[in-house]
Structure 1
Amino acid sequence: MTMTIEAPRSSTPAKKRTNWEKWGWIYMRVSGVLLLVLVFGHLASNLLFTEGGVHAINFGFVAGKLASPFWQIWDTLLLWLALIHGANGMRTIVNDYVERPGLAKTFKVLLFLSAALLILLGTFVIYTLDPCPAGADPALVASFCTAS
């Protein structure tokens, strides 16, 4: 008894396509680990290593931190990774539970637009926040600000 394998239907090689689900899965694992480091570093620096703990957090504290390029990059990474991670998780939920294709596409477009808007606005605030606003109460601004 001999076995024969039939020839493939097409002799042209298949076009390589990006497997977005695989890359989304990998992103969720990598960003999850990075987010753990970023979130716990953020909490430790704000609550444990700050004299006064949570009671010391006010506009001056935040503005003072965001005046440092290190904390700008830290908070930008935290913002971007968290929003993309969350949006990708919500996209997965939409894929799993929304059965109507049109409604699923609408949800995913709205999800993408809201995540993009929040990323843009958050990044804008991180890099343009003025730690020493004119006319502000000196008790509320960053410690390095001079009185106006």
Structure 2
Amino acid sequence: MSAQTQGAAAIADPGAPYRRRRTTRGNFELYTWVFMRASGAILVLLIFGHLFVNLVAGEGIKAIDFGFVAGKWANPFWQGWDLVMLWLAMIHGTNGVRTIVNDYAERDGLRLVLKLALYAAFIVVVTLGTLVIFTFDPCPAGAPADLLPSFCST
């Protein structure tokens, strides 16, 4: 050792208490990164297709009402289209917010609470959205005829 370093006291790293201990996660973050790019590209196609069919190919925004949605969801193709769009958008958004929480929530307890709230919101929205798409009935039995759309047989 040189004379300069023999008597020098070691200086502690000032940032050490603020660094989280990194755990090995394999390639999970790589896969989520690739998923974000692929799902983003697919979502652009799904959303522009959705907007084109609803706004350009039809009569515009004034034609979108209960009957329009009911007629569209009578076709399994559009049910599937909207289902894929819902699921991809929710997984994509949840993964993005998860990344933000991991980056900015410094305390482990806060990070856990935020991610649990995020996952709970994901489950609620996806479950309710999926149920609405598949159980939507524009002509419920026993409903007053004056409240039903014109295409429902009384």
TM range (shorter): 0.7 to 0.9
Which of the numbers 35, 48, 52 marks the counterpart of 1:44?
52
Following superposition, the deviation at residue 137 of structure 1 comes to 3.9
User: How does 1:78-117 map onto structure 2 within 5 Å?
Assistant: 78-117=85-124
Following superposition, the deviation at residue 61 of structure 1 comes to 0.6
TM-score, normalized by length of structure 1? 0.81
Given the alignment of the two structures, is residue 31 of structure 1 paired with residue 39 of structure 2, yes or no? yes
Which of the numbers 129, 135, 144 marks the counterpart of 1:135?
144
Residue aligning to 1:22:
30
TM-score, normalized by length of structure 2? 0.78
- CA distance in 2: counterparts of 1:49 and 1:131, whole angstroms: 23
Say which SS state the counterpart of residue 138 (structure 2) adopts: coil
Larger Rg: 2
- CA distance in 2: counterparts of 1:87 and 1:38, whole angstroms: 18
- CA distance in 2: counterparts of 1:137 and 1:93, whole angstroms: 49
Residue type matched to 1:26 in 2? V
Deviations 1:58-83 (A, max 9, x none): 11111111111000000000000001
Say which SS state the counterpart of residue 99 (structure 1) adopts: coil
Give the % identical residues: 57
Which of the numbers 69, 72, 91 marks the counterpart of 2:79?
72
Deviations 1:78-130 (A, max 9, x none): 00000110010000110111100110011111101111110010000000000
Say which SS state the counterpart of residue 84 (structure 1) adopts: helix
- CA distance in 2: counterparts of 1:99 and 1:17, whole angstroms: 19
Greater relative contact order structure (CA < 8 Å, 6+ sep): 1
Structure 2 unaligned regions, length at least 5: 1-23
Q: State how many pairs are aligned.
A: 129
Following superposition, the deviation at residue 145 of structure 1 comes to 2.5
